[in-house]
């Protein structure tokens, strides 16, 4: 992994040159499960060092700036767990990061691809070179699972307790995915046409392979997550049909063609909220 790590810092981030470069070896070798300990710490979580959902290490200059994009609707109790947990986890990773929660604020069918595209546009405008697309119900368990982009897209949640810690199929990219902003633009982001649950991630995977990119994964013991329980959005029964002409649509349907009724950006202490009406 260290071979893949390269300088990828947001030019807006002021680096103090007298500081040493951050090191990542210790983090990569720290493969213990964290959940119980982190859960305890969450009880006395303090937002120290966090502003607008953004944090940078104090002691060293980070090698990576990462935008965490969390698509969301109507799951306040999960957000209440996710946000302190992920900050507690990420503050120890020696990276500069910013959390965006992209909330669909209407009763229309769930459009996760569109929400990711809107979040990506904002993060790219703020000069983040790396995007991590993150389900709100997944909590990382291993400190070694570094929240950074490599030189190919990386599926980070290969090992989820709900699926007995087994990767359910090889092209799965749903859950948590790290991809550079450059690659996201190259793929034209997500399709905006998947309404309801399912398929938008598989369509994104076919964009990855159509552009001759790989899907990397860390070893399973570094990629473990626990999933919070919840009710799923209604399934999209049209998803198989939409996927069939995915390759033909990729150029005209994606990041370059997001349509919405309104978008608002509202910075809060622990995350920057992007509200969307489709």
Positions that interact with ligand BGN (CB under 6 A):
174, 198-199, 201-202, 239-240, 243
DSSP state at residue 255: G
| Shortest reach from residue 139's CB to ligand BGN, in Å | 17
Cβ nearer to ligand BGN, comparing 196 with 254? 196
Residue 57 or 109 having the CB closest to ligand BGN: 109
DSSP 64: B
Nearer to ligand BGN, 129 or 198 (CB): 198
CB of 231 to ligand BGN, least distance (A): 14
Nearer to ligand BGN, 50 or 208 (CB): 208
CB of 212 to ligand BGN, least distance (A): 22
Those residues with Cβ within 8 angstroms of residue 209's Cβ, 6 or more apart along the chain or in another chain: 171
**Cβ-count burial 113-123 (b if 16+ within 10 Å, e if not):** bbbbbbbbbbb
Alpha-carbon span 133 to 142, nearest angstrom: 18
Tokens representing residue 228 in the block: 């919070």
Pick the closer one to ligand BGN by CB: 27 or 132.
132
Contact (Cβ atoms closer than 8 angstroms) between residue 140 and residue 112: no
State the Cα–Cα distance between residues 159 and 219, nearest whole angstrom. 9
Please say which residue, 84 or 175, places its beta carbon nearer to ligand BGN: 175
- In the complex, the smallest distance separating the C-beta of residue 253 from ligand BGN, rounded to whole angstroms, is 17
CB of 230 to ligand BGN, least distance (A): 13
Q: What is the DSSP letter of 142?
A: B
Shortest distance, position 201 Cβ to ligand BGN, whole Å: 5
Cα–Cα distance, 119 to 102 (Å, whole number) = 6
Q: Which is nearer to ligand BGN, 113 or 140 (CB)?
A: 113
Minimum distance from residue 247 beta carbon to ligand BGN (Å): 15
98, β-bridge pairs = 54, 67
Closest CA to 100 of 88, 75, 118: 118
Q: List, in sequence order, the alpha helices (H) in 162-231.
A: 181-186, 200-210
- Per 3-state DSSP, what percentage of the chain is helix, strand, and coil (rounded to 5)? 30, 25, 50
């Amino acid at each position: 992994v260290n071979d893949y790590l390269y300088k990828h810092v947001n030019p807006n981030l002021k680096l103090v040159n007298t500081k040493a470069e951050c090191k990542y070896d210790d983090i990569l070798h720290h493969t213990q499960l964290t959940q119980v300990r982190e859960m305890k710490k969450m009880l006395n979580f303090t937002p120290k060092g966090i502003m607008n959902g953004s944090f940078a290490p104090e002691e060293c200059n980070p090698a990576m700036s990462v935008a965490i994009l969390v698509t969301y609707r109507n799951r306040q109790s999960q957000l209440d767990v996710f946000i302190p947990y992920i900050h507690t986890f990420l503050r120890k990773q020696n990276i500069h990061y910013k959390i965006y929660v992209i909330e669909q604020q209407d009763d229309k069918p769930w459009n996760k691809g569109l929400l990711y595209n809107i979040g990506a546009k904002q993060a790219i405008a703020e000069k983040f070179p790396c995007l991590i697309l993150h389900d709100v119900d997944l909590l990382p368990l291993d400190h070694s699972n570094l929240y950074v982009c490599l030189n190919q897209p990386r599926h980070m949640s290969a090992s989820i307790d709900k699926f007995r810690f087994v990767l359910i199929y090889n092209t799965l990219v749903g859950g948590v995915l790290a991809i550079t902003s450059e690659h996201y633009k190259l793929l034209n982001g997500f399709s905006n046409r998947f309404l309801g649950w399912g398929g938008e991630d598989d369509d994104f995977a076919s964009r990855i392979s159509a552009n001759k990119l790989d899907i990397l994964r860390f070893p399973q013991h570094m990629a473990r997550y626990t999933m919070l329980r919840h009710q799923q959005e209604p399934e999209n029964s049209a998803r198989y049909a939409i996927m069939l002409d995915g390759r033909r649509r990729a150029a005209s349907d994606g990041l370059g063609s997001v349509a919405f009724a309104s978008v608002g950006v509202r910075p809060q202490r622990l995350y920057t909220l992007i509200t969307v009406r489709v």
